[in-house]
Chain A
Amino acid sequence: MASKSLICGLLTMCLLAGVAAAARAGKHSEAAPAPLEPTLSNDDLRLEGEKRFRANCGRCHQSPHKFPPRMMLTIERHMRVRALITEEDMRMIVRYLNQ
């Protein structure tokens, strides 16, 4: 009985979180893009990207070399799922690694 309740609870959490997040994303998709990038110069963006790269990627492994941009896009998607890096961090990191 307890385990059934646990499953129901987890599935309900999944459903609610998914619905809530999807609803919020719908609103966000109509809004302006990330606030940070338009206000920074190229040098600032590079420094910010490097900082986020070291903080996020360096937690698990050594600095990887730069891959071609199309490979970086795939790696970005993989690491968002695997390491749960935030969307903005990932965007800044990819921009830094593609420079």
Chain B
Amino acid sequence: MLSWIIASSGPLVRHRKSSASVLAALLLAFPSFLLGQTDSSDRPVPILTGSAGLFASGNGGDRELVPVVMPVILAPLGERWLVEARGEFKGEFEKPAGRGSFGGPVEKELDYAELDFIANAKATFTVGRFLTPFGIYNERLYPVWIRSLQPVPTIFPIGSGSSNGVMLRGGFPASPNANLNYAVYFSTNSTINKLESDRLAGGRLGVFFPSQRVEIGASFQQLLQEGRYRSAGFHFAWQPTAAPLNLRSEFAWSGEQGRGYWIEGAYGLSQISHWQKVMRHTEAVARVQQFFAGGIAPGTAADYGLPIVNAQVFDLGGNYYFRDGLKATASYGREFSSVGNFNRWTIGTAYRFAFPLGRL
């Protein structure tokens, strides 16, 4: 089967079809030859998982309909290997003023396609395209079924995205009440369509205190190409045991792009005694964020997805969990900046799916 994959992807390369086509062919074909490996009942089985969502949003006068599908393939190999990949298909459909139906482009991205080797309890080697480990949002909170508010934080473009290269990472107990986690990586420059990355190196170090449910950490990144600027960040997360509160925060600074922070609190309403059937599935969310623009040109800032001037954003929202992996979400916020203040809102639903690709 593997030889068939290589043989069938060869002509694609020769005919200079996009690299995304080759990767898509590999991703689709890959699980089929893994089925032959899944006979034993105590072995992990390949999985197709991911999330999907449909959202309506407004930013000032603009209205958008945003369908999102983010499929994830997880293919364990042997005792210590894992192949994992995530695609992202996101529509940004707008309605022409006064008439017609919603329409527009669909963004297609390969967020990661990596091979992981779990060497031991402290170290995992990763090679391929991976999510850049800068802060916590990119790696942990980005999927639409996980994030508490659908709009990503303003500073999200700083230091995050995807990298092509190698990474060493791990998490292990440093003491009875402190788990250390780390990631160091190097990424090469790539201009290949859908596989873009910058030449950079960086690392992240975090400490998690399980008894207090507190995590703190720091990230660093050096761009090794045009610009050659540095980025740094700090993150903090706290889940107090006394209350159904999930508090998270990130600060990011970039020598060129600017700096900013966000603080978000998500509070489960299960402690409210009225309407218990509804309240125990409901979560209220608030986020405050501030961004200070860097020295780059406004056009470049917009290309990065950053505000072109200093901005403050406040969001309030809620999630209702129908069942595991299925939620309705809504938020309302207001952005303040020198180019104007405007309201922003989102309403929609998100779903997490998971299917085995072999016999259970």
Where the two chains meet, the residues of A that have a C-beta atom closer than 8 Å to any C-beta of B are 3, 6-7, 10-11, 13-14, 17-18, 21-22, 24-25, 28, 52, 55-56, 58-65, 67-71, 73-78, 80-89
Contact = CB atoms under 8 A, between A and B. Distances in A.
A-B complex: 10 closest residue pairs judged by Cβ atoms:
A25-B120, A84-B171, A73-B44, A84-B181, A74-B44, A21-B123, A70-B45, A87-B121, A21-B122, A65-B324
Contacts of B145: 61
Contacts of B45: 70-71, 73-74
Interface of B: 38, 41-47, 74, 76, 82, 84, 116, 118-126, 139-141, 145-146, 166, 168-173, 179, 181-186, 201, 203, 206, 210, 213, 215, 222, 224, 228, 237, 239, 246, 321, 323-325, 327, 354, 356, 358, 360
A28 to B, nearest CB: 7
Given A6-B224, A86-B173, 15 more contacts: A6-B201, A10-B203, A11-B186, A21-B119, A21-B170, A52-B210, A59-B215, A59-B237, A63-B324, A65-B323, A70-B360, A74-B76, A75-B354, A77-B74, A81-B84
Contact of A74 (B74, B124, B125, B201): B74
A10 B171 contact: no
12 contacts: A24-B120, A59-B246, A61-B146, A65-B323, A73-B45, A74-B44, A75-B47, A78-B74, A84-B181, A84-B206, A86-B172, A88-B173
Candidate in A67, A74, A87 with the most chain B CB atoms within 10 angstroms: A74
B175 to A, nearest CB: 12
Contacts of B172: 86-87
Secondary structure of the A side of the interface? helix
Contact of A85 (B42, B120, B171): B171
